[in-house]
Amino acid sequence: MGPKKTAAAVAGERKKEKVTLEMKKEIIRKHDGGMRVTDIAREYGRNPSTIGTILKMREKILATDAAKGVTRIVKNRPAVLEEVEKLLLIWIEEKQRAGDTVSEAVICEKAKALHADLIREQPGTSGEPEVFKASRGWFERFKTRSGIHSVVRHGEAASSDVPAAEDFAAEFLEVVKTEGYVPQQVFNCDETGLFWKRMPKRTFITQEEAKLPGHKPMKDRLTLLFCANASGDLKIKPLLVYHSENPRAFKRHKIDKERLSVMWRSNSKAWVTRVLFVDWVNLAFGPAVKQYLLDNDLPLKALLLMDNAPAHPKGLEVDLLEEFSFINIMFLPPNTTPLLQPMDQQVIANFKKLYTKELFRRCFEVTDCTTITLREFWKDHFDIVTCLKMITTAWNGISQRNLNCAWRSLCPDCVAPSDSDAPESTVVQDNVALGRTMGLEVTEEDVCELVEEHDDELTTVELVELQAEAAQEQASLEEEEATEERLSSEKLRDICLKWKEVQTFAEQHHPEKHVAHDVGNIFDTRVMNIPLPLFGLCMAAAGSLLTWAARSSCWRGEERRSYGQQGPVLRDALALRCR
């Protein structure tokens, strides 16, 4: 009888790497590829019976889809829990994007609410509802699977922190005075969501759409980043993030994105990310501020104030281009943005009221000046291009006084004295009047509610739709790319045929046929057999042919000079295109 093994030795033998979902799928793929069960078992250090069990559960394993961000699934878990975690991750990202704090208690409550909603929506559910406790153990495992440690705060999420806001306001004022900033040099930026195709709830358009199955256009959302200085006389080009890089309306209207009044960017969730934010700072904010300071003979320095949302990197100064090193950054403390952030002091709210006013105005013009009905306009003519024009009008409508007064809570010294205390014209009342002109049942409360809805937390149904739309958008993009590739191939074939015509013509008319033949062969080998972009191929063909023609002795002098001038130009174009 051999020596007894110690408890530690036994524990060491039993301690094996857990079989993850990805590992199970990998085992199935290897078996499908012809690898024997015993060889797979040896590779993974498992018993052949374990491998056999995995292969028997093949269909179920392959049908399992881990939530994005979830790195491993050890046990076969109910599909509804997988869906809960997928939606919960989207919700957490939404809260994080808005700069909100989330705690263990808040996440667990949201998880239970999502689970209850999903169970309720399942067909054929009867009897006692399935209980999901969202226990501490589940939460710890969810953190491990998804890696959300950095966004979780212990305890209840804090409300607005008044003492911290007061302390920061004093600190900010001291920085402004010490560094000698004037209101023209101090900036604030903030993001906001916009349901660009949404009407007040009680209008017939909203009620009709609610009855339709599938995607609701009124839930189509984009994100805007606004920025202006404290004096209110410089508005920076807004950043707009949409879920589609090239909406169909862009192709229909032949839109050049570089000439838009917004900086157009996209991702599947239409959120401002760190990369997009840094891009905006270097391409829109920095150049505009530098030019403004130079034009107004102001010292080349600026202060950008923003909240601590994840898209706003703490080390932003490192990401700035060298020419914008004059920009300094300050962050608002957590849970102080509702109290201090200038853009939150009726600037963004007024933008949304003006956007709604512009929406009503366009609806009124269409119904009053054309034969198009409101329903037809809403369904067939109101697209993202129209939305962009309305965003521009609404942002231009924000007055300098509005932007300046927004700094009153944070920096009273920045606010210029007013000649009159009379309030600005009430945009809400204008909206109500326009709505009633079109026969819409709209009240002031409806308009204010609509403005607030743009920042509402997403419901379970909306989270599910957001997830589905992201997948659908990806599939649509892949389909469009495939179509564009096919079109390019067709054009490429046409170019090849035309090149053959040119080659045949040159060989027939050039006095030294063998030279023409050799040049054609060189071009075929070095250009036609390389998968260059379509434009590059055209330039290569034209440039090479014209350069060769310029050196040939059979052409007349004026033709030779013309070819000699055009050849290098085309070659340069090719070089730029193919870098």
Classify burial at 540, counting beta carbons within 10 Å of its beta carbon; exposed 0-12, middle 13-18, buried 19 or more: buried
Q: Kindly report, residue by residue over 382-397, the tens digit of the pLDDT.
A: 899 999 999 999 999 9
- From 409-418, 443-452, 513-522, the region with the lowest mean pLDDT: 443-452
Residue 481 has pLDDT above 90, yes or no: no
Other C-beta atoms lying within 10 Å of the C-beta of residue 211: 6
Host domain of residue 50: 20-153
- The C-alpha atoms of residue 348 and residue 98 are separated, in whole angstroms, by 14
Inter-axis angle of helices 347-369 and 444-453, to 10 degrees? 120
> Do residues 175 and 332 make contact, with C-beta atoms less than 8 angstroms apart?
no
262 versus 576: which is more confidently predicted?
A: 262
Greater model confidence, 387 or 133: 387
- Give the pLDDT mean for 255-271: 91
Report which of 171, 84, 187, 136 is spatially closest to residue 463, judged by C-alpha positions. 84
The residues near 139 (Cβ < 8 Å, ≥ 6 apart) are 104, 107, 108
Any domain includes 64: yes
The answer on pLDDT for 15 being more than 50 is no
Query: Phi first, then psi: what are they for 372, rounded to 5°?
Result: -75, 130
Establish if 437 belongs to a structural domain: yes
pLDDT value for 9: 44
Confidence of residue 178 (pLDDT cuts 50, 70, 90): very high
Average pLDDT, the chain: 74
Q: Please compute the mean of the pLDDT values over residues 266-280 and round it to a whole number.
A: 89
Phi/psi of residue 154, each to 5°? Answer: -75, 145
Q: Answer yes or no: is 278 within a domain.
A: yes
For the segment 412-440, the average pLDDT, to the nearest whole number, is 68
Domain-ending residue, one of 120, 153, 186 = 153
Per-residue burial over 130-139, b if 16 or more Cβ lie within 10 Å, else e, is eebebeeebb
Mean pLDDT (whole number) for 64-89: 65
For range 467-475, the mean pLDDT: 57
Q: Which residue has the higher pLDDT, 512 or 187?
A: 187
Q: Are residues 386 and 475 in the same domain?
A: no
- Decide if 104 is inside a domain: yes
For 495-504, what is each residue's pLDDT tens digit? Answer: 777 777 877 7
pLDDT at 552: 47
Which H or E element spans position 103? strand 102-103
Same domain, 137 and 185: no
**Average pLDDT over every residue of 515-542:** 55
Per-residue CA distances from 92 to 100, 208, 266, 463 (Å): 9, 32, 20, 11
Tell me the average pLDDT across 16-21: 69
237: CATH: 3.30.420.10
User: % helix / strand / coil in the chain, to the nearest 5?
Assistant: 60, 5, 30
- Compare 121 and 51 and report the one with higher pLDDT: 51
Q: How far apart are CA 565 and CA 453, in angstroms?
A: 62
Q: Residue 79's closest CA among 92, 70, 67, 69?
A: 67
pLDDT above 80 for 114: yes
Whether the pLDDT of residue 255 is over 60: the answer is: yes
Asked whether 262 and 240 are in contact (CB, 8 A), the reply is yes
> Is the CB of residue 539 less than 8 Å from the CB of residue 571?
yes
* pTM greater than 0.85: no
The band of 492, judged by pLDDT with boundaries at 50, 70 and 90, is low
Same domain membership, residue 274 and residue 224: yes
User: How many whole angstroms separate alpha carbon 292 and alpha carbon 235?
Assistant: 10
**Residue 342: pLDDT band with limits 50, 70, 90:** very high
Let me know if residue 462 belongs to a domain. no
| Total number of domains constituting the chain | 3
> Which of 543, 532, 528, 546 lies closest to 573 in space, CA to CA?
543
| pLDDT on residue 504 | 79
pLDDT digits (tens, 9 = 90+) for 280-318: 999 999 999 999 999 999 999 999 999 988 788 888 888
Q: How confident is the model at residue 191 (pLDDT cuts 50, 70, 90)?
A: very high
Residue 37: CB partners within 8 Å, gap ≥ 6?
31, 48, 51, 52, 55
Q: Are both 450 and 480 inside the same structural domain?
A: no
Q: Do residues 25 and 168 both lie within one domain?
A: no
pLDDT, position 495: 74
- Within this chain, do residues 79 and 173 fall inside the same structural domain, yes or no? no
pLDDT band at 267 (very low <50, low <70, confident <90, very high): confident
What do you get for the CA distance between the two ends of the chain, in Å?
Answer: 74
Q: How far apart are CA 353 and CA 427, in angstroms?
A: 6
Mean pLDDT score, 460-473 = 60
Q: Strands 239-242 and 221-229: what pairing?
A: antiparallel
